[in-house]
Amino acid sequence: MSDAFGDYLHRIGRLPLLTPAEELHLGTVVQEWLTSPSPAMGLERRGRRAMDRMVTANLRLVVSVTRHYQTRIRHLQIDPLDVIQAGTLGLIRAVERYSPSRGYRFSTYAYWWIRQAVNRYLQEQSGAIRLPAQVTALAMKARFLQASEARNLRLAELAARLGESEKRLAFVLRVTHEAHAVSLDQPMGGEDADACLGDLIPMPSALPYQEDYGWLHGELSQLQPIEQQVLQLRFRQDDPLSLARTAECLGLTKEKVQRLERQAFNKLRRRVLPMLDPQGGSPSSSPQGGGGQPPADAARTGRAALGPAQGGHRQNVQPQDHQAAQPGRCQPQGRQTTADASGPRQSADAQEAAAFRATRYSRLEATPVPR
């Protein structure tokens, strides 16, 4: 119980109650003021004072009615003072409608007005979708009637006992069920619990692989068939193969498979990087992945440093043949090795080795020999 609620109870506890004679007198004054077509200023002043006296003297009745809804108020996480304010509006309505000539006490008459105001306020706060009070009341009557029976009642039996048609009762039950909403921030296990309802709901299943990487599949389809086969064997999900196994399956050499794999990655890099970083420009790295000089250029630089006098020789550089092996062809491994190791099919690893040897020989020639 909050301090504000306790202070409110302390203040209304000091207000005196009304006797039956005072209720009759004040109720008569209020009805004279409200029923008069043009009340005088004195009558209006006495009527307002009488209404305020009846309302303040019965505030404890409002608190007594709202205590019957403590569980529902705690479930909806509503401030009790807000519920008491709604009940006070019902009390004011009861004072305006009370007729002392009927012969019963004011508390008996005001109880139903206060209860109606509290119920309507809780119904408005119970969900994000507001339903008419008549619809909610009929649905609650049907549920209470079903809970009081030991067996499940059919829709026709419920409608007959409630005096409603089957069509209307079915519509009310369906609407109240569909309009029920629960907050995902609702705490689970008490108000001080760290977990909420949203934490207990599993995340939806991830999108299928084709939907996530459909754009990448389009880029892969633009590669050569032999390059697609190399990537599929090397990076498949179930059982990726090594370079040696991939070369054995395709009838190629290990160096040939590595070169095809590198060519495929270079093509994908040139197409994908502008899509991921449109303003970043083209990558400055070399096709081999390094930041320095390509191996072929380094080899030509090393041979030029040797010169004719140091025993270097010049090779004729022929244009590289880009025709890849067909997927269905299976060539002998020995013949393929001979073709890949010479001329236009020289691998990048062989070019790097040639550059290293050229640099090493140039250093040896530049070192003076002591006599």
Q: Give this prediction's pTM.
A: 0.46
Fold of 215-306: Arc Repressor Mutant, subunit A (1.10.10)
Higher pLDDT: 274 or 281? It is 274
Query: pLDDT tens digits for 114-142?
Result: 999 998 898 888 777 888 878 888 998 99
Q: pLDDT at residue 243 above 80?
A: yes
Over residues 46-72, mean pLDDT? 93
Q: Would you say residue 304 has pLDDT above 80?
A: no
| Residue 110 reports pLDDT greater than 90 | yes
- Amino acid 347: pLDDT: 57
Q: Quick one: CA dihedral 249, 254, 258, 259, positive or negative?
A: negative
pLDDT band of residue 357 (cuts 50, 70, 90) is low
Mean of pLDDT values over 150-156: 89
Burial class (CB in 10 A: 0-12, 13-18, 19+), 92: middle
**pLDDT tier for residue 237 given thresholds of 50, 70 and 90:** confident
CATH number for the region 3-126 comes to 1.20.120.1810
pLDDT digits (tens, 9 = 90+) for 165-187: 999 999 999 998 888 777 777 77
Q: What is the mean pLDDT of residues 343-358?
A: 58
Angle at 217 between CA 233 and CA 242, to 5 degrees: 15
Residue 198 or residue 344, greater confidence? 198
| pLDDT score of 349 more than 60 | yes
Question: Using an 8 Å Cβ cutoff, are 141 and 148 in contact?
Answer: no
pLDDT: which is higher, 92 or 75: 92
Average pLDDT for the chain: 76
Which among 59, 63, 62 has a CA at the least distance from the CA of 17?
A: 59
Handedness of CA 250, 252, 258, 263 (dihedral sign): negative
CA 57/CA 74 separation, integer angstroms: 27
Q: pLDDT at position 126, please?
A: 74
Mean pLDDT value of segment 33-52? 92
